[in-house]
Amino acid sequence: MHRQISDECCGYSCSVTGKVNQCHEVQQITTILFFPAMLLLLVPGVFFLLPAHIEATEISTSTLSEDVYPNTDQPVDDITTHGQADYLNDIEKEVVLHLNMARTDPGRYAAKFIKPRIRYFAGKRYREPWQSASFVGYRTHEGKKAVHECIAVMESTLPIKRLLPSKGLSLAAKDHARFQSRTGRIGHRGPDGSKPGTRLRQHYNWRITGENISYGLNTAREIVACLLVDDGVHSRGHRSIILDPQFSIVGVAIERHPLHRYVCVINFAGN
């Protein structure tokens, strides 16, 4: 019988942050975290300060699973906004929902979605019991250490505002996800070598932007939880972007990837 062995650590992800100040770009090193081969690469990150232009659409809760949050004391309506975001599919909407749960009540999100992960480690290998018997789990860099650190940080983080889904940001995310789906590429550079800020400006001019990319995962819980734990990433850049109060809107796109199964691009912006 074929035994599936994975060197993944819940996907492959990369984040980009930085600032542009009076035409001077200040770059910092961020990390690309690779899940389907556990490859770590260092890439320059950029964070853009641009003229503000806000275009956003409120999300409908009618298509979101009511049991996505395992408690009933915080209704879905309290962590999303009403309206229609028909440019997002159900998984993309749930990514927004999980981002908002993590932002609006970080301690509770850690208790419900991060802390339970501790029991599923065998050394540095992670496997949930309901996964296929032929799947031996994900290989992580830090094991439980990164999970405990994530819990501690989230328990001490104050709640921040929800993210409002944006069609413009989602179109930018979709363009990049489809490019990588066609080519098998990874990372933040566009087809012409453009950086995330440039790609986002093709749709709208945002004052401040950020981008996370996850590879190998196609469930909202794992995409967001793994970005928050940020295993193997010294700067915890993915978590920092998700919990950054400067961001107020978000765009999400998930596509199939020829090498890593799935790519999920999450674009953030603020006014």
Alpha carbon distance 232, 143 (integer Å): 9
Q: Residue 94 has which token pair?
A: 């749930």
Q: Which helix (H) or strand (E) holds 88?
A: none
List phi, psi (to 5°) of 243.
-100, 15
Is the dihedral angle over the CA atoms 95, 101, 107, 109 positive or is it negative? negative
Mean pLDDT by 10 residues, the chain (271 residues): 33 45 25 36 29 37 40 51 75 94 97 95 90 83 96 98 93 93 89 84 84 92 96 95 95 94 94 80
The predicted pLDDT at position 258 comes to 92
The predicted pLDDT at position 177 comes to 95
The predicted pLDDT at position 132 comes to 81
The predicted pLDDT at position 193 comes to 82
The predicted pLDDT at position 49 comes to 26
- What's this model's pTM, rounded to 2 decimal places? 0.76
